[in-house]
Structure 1
Amino acid sequence: MTTTDRASAAEPTTAGRRPKPPRRRLVAVYAGLVVVPVIAAVGFVQLDRDGDPGGSPGGTPIHVPSAGDGLGRLLLAVVIVVATAKLLGAAVRRLGQPPVIGEIAAGIALGPSALGAVWPAATAWLLSPSVMPQLAALGQLGVVLFVFLAGLKLNTRLLRGQHSIAITVSHVSIALPFLLGVGLAGVAYHRFAPGGLGFMPFALFLGISMSITALPVLARILMDTGLFGSWVGTLALTCAVVDDVTAWLLLALVVALVVAGSAAGVLTTVALTAAFVAVLWFGVRPLLWRIEAGRHGGPVPLGLVGLLLCALATEWIGVHAVFGAFLFGLVFPAESRWGRRLDDAVGGLTLTLLLPLFFASNGLRTELGLLGTDPAGWLWCALVLLVAVVGKFAGSAVAARVAGTSWPEALQIGALLNCRGLTELIVLNIGLDLGVLSPELFTMLVVMALASTAMAAPVVNRIAARPRPAPDRTPAP
């Protein structure tokens, strides 16, 4: 080995390593570009304070937000609401109820009906008036996204092969409770209608509130009870599809009647709504499918922008943002990769965070104390529940039995279609915002929505557990 080779072997390998800079140079750079500027800045600030004629350090004091102000208070409220909703949702699930029951009850528990009645200062601090508008706005955004997801997952193919019985049962499950709701409005108008509201919008809205079936909650109950995919479950879902579409159309008409006020205004709103539906179905829908047919499909932001634009369009027309979101979900290519990506992007945030905030806003509007200790208020509440159950449960069951199903199947269908859930709460909040419902009647209808939803799964399970008589296999003589 030569001298050069030995020298090379003795040197450490430095490939890929940078030489360390001199420490003195680093100290000089740090002192000149960090220490000196900081000292100079402090000196300038001190000079300005000494020259201030008022002698105050900086003139007008600056308010530094604490954890109890602004964003800190909002984040604390969000944490409390979501945690309460998930805890109660898990608790009711152990009792055989869908988690949405506990999530809805969480809003009521945090509001004036429970915590507010026992410890008003806690409710005022946790959900202060300054925070509630922000929670309500986030909750409304969650409702728009949720309704879009409901339209996106609406399987209209369930209508195939079930047309006659499904249409009969679904129309009876809408028409009969709607008629009973209008009849109830005739009795309740003078007692519960807000001042200055005409009888027609009050009666129509009360009829709609009796006709609702919560399609997403119904699907969840079918999965929990093992009926998803069965004939009874498929028929109930098919009827719920027709119920949902019809209910949103009726709601759009009633909102147009309330907002427009005059016959000409209603016709204008209906015409604009029809034009929007036509553009969405014949223009936007084919465009979405062409975008999806591309090599990589459509980006999620494009779908979100389209969703919000449709919601904005129907809000501007006067039939509420949820109608546009629902229609956009119907025309969106749901079973495509684009649809699945959008569902994944929107679903988790909506169901986990935004909807519990809507429940909290809804719960703060629900005051069981308005019913008071007067038995008359609770009798009215019982009457509302009775009308709702008779119209939806009994009407659907009788229609299904007449259409050819057995009594156990008919009763299961009636119990399933009587489930109102979150969809009912969305409709009721629209009515309260429009001034169609008084706070007292709103509370009664919320109680009705919770009771009708809570009774669905136990009734279905009880009917399924009943022993069936064995078929008579005795040969004929």
Structure 2
Amino acid sequence: MNNLELFVAVTIAVIVIMMAAQICGKLITFIGQPRVVGEMISGVLLGPTLFGNYFPELSASLFNEEVMPILFVLCNLGLSIYMFLVGAEIDYKLFKKSTIKQAGALSLTGTLFPFGLGVLAAIMYHDTLAMEGISLSTFGIYMGTALAITAFPMLARILHEKKLINSKIGALSLLAASVQDVISWILLSFVTAMAISQSYSGGFVTLGGAFLFVLVVFGIVKPILKRVAKTTEKNGELSQAHFAFILILLLAAALATDVIGLYSVFGGFVLGLAIPRTAGLIETLTVKLKDITIVMFLPIFFAYSGLSTNLLVFQNTTIILPGLIILLFSIVGKYGVCAVTMKASGYSWRESSAIGGLINSRGLMELLIANIGLLYGVITQDLFSILVLMAIVTTLGAMPIYNLSMKASKYKKGQAELGTESVHTMKVPGKVHEDELEAVP
């Protein structure tokens, strides 16, 4: 296949992926789910579960061996940009004493308990679901991280779409999810380093490199970005030269973290955290980057993951029980424990259940962890499919659990009251801000 033929093949594949994402995203809204859930499911449907099963020749032609590496590059570039925007969306004004205390307790229990259940699952299924040569300790940390993760980016999109971002529950869920994801990324960096080097020393070397990377970003890069932000505010626009500079930094950060043994998206996330929280800079970057990332690059990632996912493996009865137990552990460890934690913090059972349902959403982050596990040879194809299924089920359950928990009329009327204690100053790139925020319906 020459370059022109490759361009045509990749373009057709991307068109098919985007169309599937748009159709599934629209259809899923008719049952009250956010579009992003449908986009995630579209990737699985394009894989061997449906499209590849009924149209194997067409699927093999569309997503052939020459196209797949290009899709891998595109989706990883897109993910780095998306995680950069996610990091930039975290508003430090959320970190108030009262919110931090509640989010801290939620993050602690919402990480430790599912992590412990993940380790238990690893002990139970190490021989069948881990790749040969992967130690129990490495597999245990991986499974603990897989169950402890929360889909911060997807949770943010769900809350945005459903106009819950300005409620107390929404702000608390986002803050707790962001803390849990940072902890999970640290654990994941350790386990990938162990998988590569087959030793604890490799893990600690990678953690040391990650610490050094964070120091460089916040000690050297952030002051430079502050000058860029100041110039942007003064001129009223982000110049093309400064935009190019930020993109170069983003790509360099992704490359640097990949070199030290972390997944490239971690670099984008850390750089996003370092971006100065000025409305002009954040909003301009969002306008320039967010739509094309969400509309094109994320569906490519969903499809790339889906093409490696075959839910028909559950026809093998030996996989059903491990899959059900891991799914049960994931729900009990997140939804159950977080709900009890919030109840102990003084919330009603309805509010506690609503928060637990939102925190239980894993979506994009679980897909990332599954892909990393497969990429670095930690998990089998069967476990990859189990983790993708877990991502879909827990994300599908987020809004139904929230709606059922808050369905009583007095809670519907009182949602705005819940928002009175929330952080209305939170900046949401690409959305309205402060007094423009719409009240929760």
TM-score range, shorter chain: 0.7 to 0.9
| C-alpha distance in structure 1 between counterparts of 2:177 and 2:2, whole Å | 53
Superposition pairs of residues 376-395 of structure 1, within 5 angstroms = 376-395=318-337
Find the counterpart in structure 2 of residue 465 from structure 1.
Answer: 407
The residue number in structure 2 matching 1:187 is 124
Q: Report matched runs for 1:22-33 at 5 Å.
A: none
Distance 1:146 1:406 in 2: 35
Q: How does 1:144-223 map to 2 (within 5 A)?
A: 144-160=80-96, 161-223=98-160
| CA distance in structure 2 between the partners assigned to 1:266 and 1:226 by the alignment | 41
Inter-partner Cα distance in structure 2 for 1:273 and 1:467: 49
Match of 1:254 among 163, 188, 191: 191
TM-score by length of 2: 0.88
AA aligned opposite 1:402: A
Which of 347, 350, 355 lines up with 1:413 in the alignment? 355
1:99 matched to 2:35? The reply is yes
Contact 1:381 1:444 in 2 (8 A): yes
CA RMSD of aligned residues (A): 1.9
Deviation at 1:164, TM superposition (A): 1.4
- The farther-off stretch of 277-286 and 333-342 is 333-342
- Spell out, residue by residue over 1:303-337, the C-alpha distance to the aligned partner (whole angstroms, 9 max, x if none): 10011111111111111211111100000124342
Decide whether the 8 Å contact of 1:300 with 1:338 is kept in 2. no
Q: Which has the larger radius of gyration?
A: 1
Matched, 1:110 2:66: no
- Is 1:291 matched with 2:264? no
Residue from 323, 345, 361 that aligns with 2:288: 345
1:315 paired with 2:258, answer yes
Task: Report SS of the residue matched to 1:113.
Answer: coil
Deviation string for 1:123-179 (max 9, x for gaps)? 112222221111121111111111111111112321213121110011101110000
Contact 2:229 2:278 in 1 (8 A): no
**Aligned equivalents of 1:96, 1:236: Cα separation in 2:** 20
Asked if structure 1 preserves the Cα contact closer than 8 Å seen for 2:86 and 2:269, the reply is yes
The CA distance in 1 between the partners of 2:100 and 2:90, in whole Å, is: 16
- 1:436 is aligned to 2:383: no
Shift >6 Å, 4+ stretches? 63-66
* Structure 2 residue corresponding to 1:375, chosen from 317, 335, 339: 317
Compare relative contact order (CA 8 Å, sep 6+) and give the higher one, 1 or 2.
2
Q: Distance in 1 between matches of 2:124 and 2:75?
A: 33
Partners of 2:40 and 2:302 within 8 A in 1: yes
The answer to whether the 8 Å contact 1:273/1:317 transfers is yes
After superposition, the C-alpha distances for 1:20-67 in whole angstroms (9 at most, x for unaligned) are xxxxxxxxxxxxxxxxxxxxxxxxxxxxxxxxxxxxxxxxxxx9888x
Measure, in 1, the Cα distance between the counterparts of 2:303 and 2:287.
Answer: 24
Where do 5+ consecutive residues of structure 2 fail to align? 414-441
Q: 2:36, 2:157 within 8 Å by CA — same for their partners in 1?
A: no
Q: Match for 2:197: what amino acid?
A: A
Q: Is the 8 A contact 2:28 2:38 kept in 1?
A: yes
Amino acid at match of 1:208: T
Q: Give yes or no for the alignment of 1:236 onto 2:179.
A: no
8 Å contact from structure 1 (residues 139, 358) kept in 2: yes
CA deviation map 1:433-472 (0-9, x unaligned):
01111100010010010000001101111111135599xx
State how far apart, in whole Å, the 2-side matches of 1:424 and 1:99 are: 18
Alpha-carbon shift at residue 266 of structure 1 (Å): 2.8
1:351-391 Cα distance to aligned partner (Å, 9 max, x none)? 1111111111111100112222x333222211111010000
Opposite residue 186 of structure 2, the aligned amino acid is L
Equivalent residue number for residue 59 of structure 1 = none
Percent identity over the alignment is 34
Mapped partners of 1:64, 1:343: distance in 2? 36
Between the aligned partners of 1:268 and 1:259, the Cα distance in structure 2 is 12
Residue of structure 2 in register with 1:445 after alignment: 387
Q: How many residues align?
A: 405
Aligned AA for 1:272?
G
Does residue 72 of structure 2 align to residue 136 of structure 1?
A: yes
Give the TM-score of the pair, scaled to structure 1: 0.81
